[in-house]
Chains A and B, each alone.
Chain A
């Protein structure tokens, strides 16, 4: 017996937001009544630099279709330099994912300040639309072992 897929595709999107800027930006988007899709699940982190590349891989492996990392603008980090390190790490990680054949549109880094509620909502809308067009992510779930 097969269960037919009747529901339309709803992407699962993980957003890592830094506590000091982007999370407050998301708050502002909410209190300004700006809408963004409910497909975005926000995970609050103390700093964008807290995001271990493993977190992003883990999110994908557990079925995320897209992962976005939001932090303070370069120069505005609450811990002075955290986002500069995050920037280098993510550049290398995204490049590696691309090298392994995972479409590079599925990952993104955006700098969103606490005052940028509008940018937050616009970014999320755009990112969800992008993931929607890419469809379901199956590649990174089974990089190894499972060959059909």
Chain B
């Protein structure tokens, strides 16, 4: 499929439809491709599309929209939700974007491969349902499904929400593995407040405030972020006991509540492996329960749950009344 994408990108560059291509470039290791701009057909030799291209390119389109000329962007099915959400928020320019919807078989988590005891990885290739991993100690094999990112084990579906053409994907394609994405949230809800606090303190204490989750999030697109204000102490990272430091994760999750498409990028990029998606999913679950099913990015014209209301909304007291299960 990679060859087909490169070929089509070259065509579009040649006929002047676009002046640049936004895609993934081979990284320094076999499993860390990075988002990159390609300005000429020659540069496309570094283009790569494989299971490790998990990066959601939607957010880069905010910048690309401000550049001269049109941009070709490759979006996986769940990336298109983020793109749609950004259209809704008037952050990207649809008319300056040419979207190729690429087929997705699920994206891979190198941490899971490493956890399976495979060390010294040199390259990884896929053959059917098996991953062949070349290591410095020889070849190892791993079932493809065992190396999926958490977000891909609860696939949102393989339908592109917005695109100009599709490559490697058909309309109405069947979704990947669909588990209950709220399973872990429900498990936490069933715990006692003390256990939950211990769980979150354990997870969040690992945070090093690198801001990767904020920087990668397609919903976090403010020009000036509250966490960058120099009125607050958060501008000084050494200041570990401040409000913004301690409440960072609640604030971050709240700022994207109702706009988060559950793309799972925050958890993917976290260098400390904090399951940040569990905070976002709690908001999504509550919104679904209290205000009706809502999937951000499914359309471009509905009102988001937090910028909308009905006269019959539940009172905040409902949180206490639900009691412990």
Contacts and interface: CB of A to CB of B under 8 A. Distances in A.
- Which of A54, A142, A144: most chain B CB closer than 10 A? A144
Q: At the interface, is chain A mostly helix, strand, loop or mixed?
A: helix
Given A57-B243, A88-B306, A92-B287, A99 B317 contact: no
A144 to B, nearest CB: 5
Interface residues of B, number: 51
Contacts of A36: none
Contact of A87 (B205, B282, B287, B313): B313
B154 interface: no
Given A91-B318, A96-B250, A109-B316, A101 B198 contact: yes
Contacts of A88: 290-291, 305-306, 308-309, 313
B201 A98 contact: no
A121 B132 CA distance: 70
A87 B315 contact: yes
B309 A81 contact: yes
A58 B248 CA distance: 11
Contacts of A92: 254, 257, 283, 286-287, 290, 306
Interface stretch (B42-50, B56-64, B189-197): B189-197
Interface string A74-99: 11000001001101111111111111
A62 B247 CA distance: 12
B186 to A, nearest CB: 11
A43 interface: no
Contacts of A85: 306-307, 309
A100 B189 CA distance: 9
Interface in B186-230: 188-189, 193-201, 204-205, 207, 226
B311 A75 contact: yes
A143 B309 contact: no
Contacts of A103: 193
A101 B196 contact: yes
A144 B205 contact: yes
Contact of A145 (B185, B245, B251): B245
Given A57-B243, A88-B313, A100-B250, A95 B319 contact: yes
A96 B257 CA distance: 11
B286 A143 contact: no
Nearest to A83: B309
A101 B194 CA distance: 6
